[in-house]
Structures are given as C-alpha cells and as structure tokens.
Amino acid sequence: MEGRAIRGVVAGALCALTLYVARAAVVTETGQYAQAQGQAKITSRLSLTEGSLGTQTLALAQYPLHSNSPLKRYALTEGEMMHVVVVRDDFQTFGHLHPLPSQSGTFRLPVRLERGHRYYAYVSSQPAGLPEQVFRFVLQSGTATHNLTTTVRGPSTRVRTGPYVVFLDQTRLRAMRKQSITVDINRDAHSPGVAAPYHVAWVRAILVNTSSLTYAHIDGANARGICCEYALVAPPLSKGLYKMWLQFNDGSSVYTAPFTFAAR
C-alpha cells in the first residue's frame, strides 16, 4: 500500500515536471522597436520553441496596433517578405535568414542557438501601406549566459572572406549625418575562378550599435568606377561603436565581412 502511494507521488511529480518542461519549452516575447528613426506602427511577437537535437523554431506574427488579427500583406524588400538577423551578444556570430510565411500570417524559422549564450534577433519587414518596421528580440538557449556584458574592440577595417580581401575605407563617421561608406572588394589573384578586376553582383550592409542595440541597414551600393570600390549611403547614425556586416554576392556565393567603426 505504501509502495503504491510512493509510486503515485513519483508519477504525479514526473507528470507535473513534464507539464512544466512542456510549458517552459515555449517562450513568447513582444519585440522592442529597434530603429534609431521612426516609431512602431505595429506590434511584433515571437515565440521560441526548444526542439530535439539542439534545434529551436522561431514563430513570428505581427499585428496592427490594438488588434489581435495577424498582418498578412507585406511589401517585398530585397525579394523577401521578412528578414531575420540573428546576432550573438558578443557580436561574433551573424545570420541573415528569411522565415517562411503561412496563410495564418505566422512566419516560422528553424534556428540553432548555441547553449548558454544570448542572441539578439532583429525582425525587419514592411507591412502594406506602412514604413519599414524593425523589432529586436532577446533569445536564449539554456539558462546560463556566457556573455553578460559585451566588449567590442574597434576599429577593424580589413577582412578576409572566401577568396576576397575587403577593406573599409573609414574608421569613423560623423554622427547624425547621412553619408557614404566606401569599401574595396578585391579578389585574391591566386584564387581559382574569375580574376580581378571583377564587380560583384550586389552589396548590402547591416549595422548594429553595440551599446544601444539600434539597427540600421543599407540595401545596396554603387560601384565607384574604380575597381573594385563601392559606396554605401548610410542613414544618420547616433553616436557609438558599430558592428557592420557587409554582405555581397559574386554570382556564385554570398560572403559576409564583419567590420567595426565609430560614429562621433
């Protein structure tokens, strides 16, 4: 009799623990508006579901203010309805991803977050009839974080990515002023494939202020006519240290070059 009672208590405890874990496996968060300019015109919500084998799934839904009906109509930006930029809180990892939409208005995206680290997810979209909206979410896999404070050294102006050496021509920009950022993308003459001079198919950049965590992006660049120099027009940036991920496509692959510079 006593043995059955103990087994019943254990079974009940295990059931309660299973229910708790199931509930804890899904974390829902409302995003913070992340652009330095403008203001939130919608509400953005994200759910992170822990899966098996260290994988997670993001579920994203956006709503008109004071409404519970998900938005379903978006203008395409760079050919996509939604962009998700995932950055580890030490700014050493970066991913630019595109979730898949559903008829219900929910976007889903599988991700793999390293355990014990915190991540920032920036969700960028342009709902029909509205300006671009960018929201920031804080993601975490597991409970302990390795990086409770962030230290980013700067500046960094020379990066090797794939067969390319990329140079950032500026280490400082003027704060709160629209201006050009110039980069040189040079293919290593000893790398197989097309030899320099060669112009890449497209160039874009994503910038994050490492203190305020505000977000900005540059959709395209203009070739300067000097091989292989490109000019990117940056929006007004508040003061601070910035991490910039320059992405470009040479017709066969997408490459990412991380830089650091200051706005003063």
* DSSP character string of the chain: -HHHHHHHHHHHHHHHHHHHHHHHTEEEEEPEE-BSSS--SEEEEEEEEE-GGG-EEEEEEEEETT--SPP--B--BTTBSEEEEEEETTS--EEEE-PEE-TTS-EEEEE-PPTT-EEEEEEEE-BTTS--EEEEEEEESSS--S-SS------B-EEEETTEEEEES-SEE-TTS-EEEEEEEEE-TTSSSSPSS---SEEEEEEEETTT--EEEE---EE-SSTTEEEEEEPP--SEEEEEEEEEE-SS-EEEEEEEEEE-
Q: Specify the residue for token string 């040079």.
A: 186
In angstroms, the CA 220 to CA 38 distance is: 21
User: Is the pLDDT confidence value at 4 over 70?
Assistant: no
Mean pLDDT of 6-28: 45
- Binning pLDDT at 50, 70 and 90, where does residue 47 land? very high
Q: Which residue has the higher pLDDT, 146 or 71?
A: 71
Read off the amino acid at residue 38: G
User: Is the pLDDT confidence value at 79 over 80?
Assistant: yes
- Write the pLDDT tens digit of every residue in 84-120: 999 999 999 999 999 999 999 999 999 999 888 899 9
Give me the pLDDT at residue 137, please.
Answer: 98
Both tokens of 82, joined, read: 């939604």
Task: Count other Cβ atoms within 10 Å, centred on residue 108.
Answer: 14
- CA 198 vs CA 191, 225, 252: distances in Å: 13, 11, 13
Q: Which residue has the higher pLDDT, 196 or 227?
A: 227
Both tokens of 110, joined, read: 């599988």
- Supply the mean pLDDT for the chain: 85
Read off the amino acid at residue 16: A
In this structure, are residues 73 and 95 in contact, taking their beta carbons and an 8 Å threshold? no
Global confidence as pTM? 0.86
As a whole-number percent, the residues of the chain with pLDDT over 70 amount to: 83
